[in-house]
Amino acid sequence: MTAHRQLLIPTSYSVVLAVSGTHLINDLIQFLLPALYPVLKSQYALSYFQLGLLTLAQQITACVLQPVMGLYGDLRPKPYMLAISMAVVAVGVLMLGLAGSFGMLLAASAVLGIGSALFHPEASRVCRMASGGRFGFAQSSFQVGGNTGTALGPLAAALFVLPLGQISTVWFGLLAVVGVMILIRIAGWFTEHQKALKAAGTPRVEASRLPRSRLILAFAVIGALLLSKFVFIETFKSYYTFFLIERFGMEIRQAQTILFIFLGAVALGTFFGGPIGDRIGRRRVIWVSIVGALPFALLLPHANLAGVIALSIAVGLILSSAFSAIVVYAQELMPQKVGMVAGFVFGFAFGVGALGAAILGGLADMIGMQQVFNYLSALLFLGFLTALLPDVE
């Protein structure tokens, strides 16, 4: 459908809220793995590099599968795929709780990643369908659900997982069951919505008007921006607690609480980024987001504890506002393939973030985590490539 036609369809807030809620459940469960890293490191005598491999196993499946599943959904929409994805997540978290070796932890990580790969492109498409033309708002609402789940991960770890141990993650499978029930209802709405559009004779979506060379350049720049953002964020998610412990001699629970604050800032920034992009343009939001976070990121490794907390909040708020804008901007480049594009953005972001975290984990084994955080902010200089993005608005 054209953008104009989409605006005539009212926003279905209940659907957007429901999908956002299941995104919270998915990402909360996904984050149980990195939240367990301090426990797993000591229990299984793992190196930082091995922890990075667990992140890579979880995310590389998403990197490979999400664009494929997104394209498949564009060609043959499957309303119940979302419910199936959450069932796979339930299996993954059960495996995580019962794993007794590094190999089993790798397998559990991969299954969790497969569930996430099935979930994200289809959930993003459903939110866009329910947006009523408010694409930035719907994408931000979807993303803030996930980021809230990620932020709650270290809090859940501090309150439940760390005191009760690895086996306690099994109980989070009950949340996945709740998610399956919600997504079965969403599948019913999806089916009725498609029937209504077909009955209304909705016109086909126009293909991109940009020449192929400009599209290739635009997606190359988007890839570089995603690399800078997600390697930075994924490194914080995986190793920020170790940085705080190494730098300030903190206990694990204190470090997890500060990680929760950072991830809460990420969730808040994500929520505002989409609606602001609807108003002022997504390219401007991308500019301000990635480049605006740079000075705070440069100062962070050298500040005292209060300064580190304050600067991490600023970085989380500013940097995270870009993602919803990037997703919707990329979909506007290829409006006839919104599922595939969402799958590419999510998949590439997760994959490159995990690969970067694994590499930096290996580097931390050699030079220390504090030194890695000293170098990390250099990634954000890639934000200046935003100047090469075409104006499609």
| Domain presence at residue 199 | yes
In the chain, which ranges are continuous DSSP H helix? 3-7, 13-35, 37-43, 48-75, 81-98, 102-129, 135-156, 162-164, 173-200, 212-248, 252-280, 282-292, 294-299, 305-320, 322-333, 338-367, 369-376
- pLDDT of 204: 53
Six token digits for residue 265: 């800032």
Domain that holds residue 233: 3-388
b (16+ CB within 10 A) / e for 253-281? ebbbbbbbbbbbbbbbbbbbbbbbbbeeb
| Domain presence at residue 86 | yes
Q: Are 186 and 12 in contact (CB under 8 A)?
A: no
Q: What's the CATH number where 19 sits? A: 1.20.1250.20
- pLDDT of 97: 86
| Domain presence at residue 95 | yes
- pLDDT of 208: 57
Which pLDDT tens digit goes with each residue over 31-56? 888 878 888 888 888 888 888 888 88
| Domain presence at residue 24 | yes
| Domain presence at residue 393 | no
Q: Which stretches of the chain drop beneath a pLDDT of 50?
A: 1-8
List of residues 6+ apart from 217 with CB closer than 8 A: 388, 390
Alpha-carbon distance of 113 to 57, in angstroms, equals 7
- pLDDT of 181: 94
- pLDDT of 104: 92
> Does the reported pTM lie above 0.75?
no
Per the structure, the count of domains in the chain is 1
Any idea what the Cα angle at residue 153 is, between residues 183 and 70, rounded to 5°? 40
